A and B are shown apart, each in its own frame.
Chain A
Amino acid sequence: MATTGLGFALFGPRGERDTLASKGRLVLDYWEKWTGHEGAAMQRVVDAFNASQDRLYVRYLVTSAIHQKAMISILGGSPPDIVGLYAFNVPSYAESNAVLPLDELAARAGLRIDQYAMGMRPVMQHGGRWVATINTGGALALYWNRALFREQAEALKARGIDPERAPRTIAELDLASEVLSRTTDGSALGKGPLARAGFLHMEPGWWSWIWGYHFGGTLYDAASDRAGAGGPEVVRAFEWLQSYPQRLGIDHVEKFRSGFGPYGTPQSAFLTGEVAMVVQGPWMANLIQAFKPDLDYGVAPFPVDTPLYDPDNPMTCIDTDVLMIPRGAKNPEASMEFIAFTQRQENVEALATAHCKGSPMVEVSEQFLSKHPNRGVRLHTALASSKRAYVAPATPVWTEYKDIFDTTMQDLWKLAEPAATRLPVVQARAQKLLDDAAELRRRRGEA
């Protein structure tokens, strides 16, 4: 075993740091999650950087399950020079010292936090320090199938819903969903197999925790370090969520859902018309463009509970991709130089256009908005600056808290338990996580 280990250390594979293209330059490894069309767009930005100067050479390396592998590489002392992660990773990475603070590096590279849209700024900072820049901005919205709304125009009008616009409140969403839902045999909803659903919280179901915010609740109060999962607004939101499988019949819904193709394929439910409205980010337009360019869709703020409706301040969850410099990166200044290049308006807008996303910056060119392939780009860009934009709770235990929520949402969706009894339990578990983390910080002298 020792001989094998020694042999591997002496003669084993080596990282290829010096290729023909990079000859004589400092090579920077950039780990990113994007493949396919999105990866190719980022590769173009990387190529532009490599062509813009002759000192640095960035290698774009696609990494699956990047938020876990990046952490392992940092823990192992062999991190990439730049890593592209998700917004929800920022608190845990920052709290565990896995990334470098950018305050001084960014300032030297000419970046300022006020260049970014209001809603993006909380994602970029943790504990009062700047730790991440925004790679591409994402603000969640309601994607709705205009064609299906028109097809059911009379029925929608009969229920007081304007078929030419998206629902604005939860009550309108419920009515529209009911009108648009269909069973295969024409029986009443809940009595037969589903052929189409107006709206399903579980499609795609990636954001188990957002619903409470649209009823005025919150999951975490940073000032008091208290969890809010059991708050009355959150409970009401999940009771609303449970009303869908109750009305449609949980067995019918689950069987219906099991036939949806995965996201990223032409068989995904919104593209096939099996679900008429979904909560999604701007990347949805990319999928539509690739697989169903003739789909007539609209983009609107995700509805809120009626008393919360405010057309000037729509509510949205900010879910972005971020760039960070891992602790242990050998040349942080060089890494920052590349990051700063990606943050130039022309590069941000080129990447955002290719990804069908909005811009995370305050300054947005009219050309970007007018030629953008996502018909909802103006909305997505406006949402990023909304006063009521919210981000994942900025606590280092969020990953675990969210995992609890993910499991809870699935159980509540399957009507395993009433929301009113389950969510206080979730709150207690989440609070214990927060208290334990606080106690550990105290023991470490970090409190």
Chain B
Amino acid sequence: MVEQSVPSRLKPAPLKTDVAVELVGVHKWYGDFHVLRDINLHVTKGERIVICGPSGSGKSTMIRCINRLEEHQQGRVVVDGTELTNDVKKIDEVRRDVGMVFQHFNLFPHLTVLENLTLAPIWVRKMPKKDADEIGMHYLKRVKIPEQAHKFPGQLSGGQQQRVAIARALCMNPKIMLFDEPTSALDPEMVKEVLDTMVQLAQDGMTMLVVTHEMGFARQVANRIVFMDEGQIVEMNEPKAFFDNPQHERTKLFLSQILH
């Protein structure tokens, strides 16, 4: 890895605690619809969690609760020792340290690729533009598209856009990365380049929570796989045990449908 090219002052601070994310008895409702039912999840530092399950099972909602894009209504969400409440300061604190990659990239279309990357470091971290550009180019090299720095997102392929989105999140030096179906909106040919980037990130020791149906990725990278259905965590296990010896009928059915 080319980590040494980033000045040490721009490097992320390590996690304060060994527990990266802790969800305790989390419930959430959309009106009468009970999206999350008693979610308990404990993610330790450096752990890679893959979350899968049928659509509507609450996977996305769960990881969106971790950076407060969704509010939970019961239970506790603690991110690196900071509990998420209505306290805006704490929410901002958590968001600064948690990167997120979306299914539909959500790049800022009116800014160039490099501007997309440097926006948050400049405005949130108050970094001088020169340093931000430096760090932006560093991460663009890392996702292997430095030559696209001055194009607009609309001029890039889906896979390139998603890699820019990953680089954008990394530019804030996050301690934890959340991925919400990062490859679902991509052409099959572009899935690999994005997954490769994520594998590399995992090898560097990033704490990751990934909602995905890429079972190959899960097998290769995950420490644990979480299977959700109807707002509950149905099963949680190491990849090998999860794939070879699923415990629940629902898990077996799901696996039989996605692994042909």
A binds B: no
Chain A interface residues toward B at CB < 8 A:
none
Question: Measuring CB to CB, which residues of chain B are less than 8 angstroms from any residue of chain A?
Answer: none
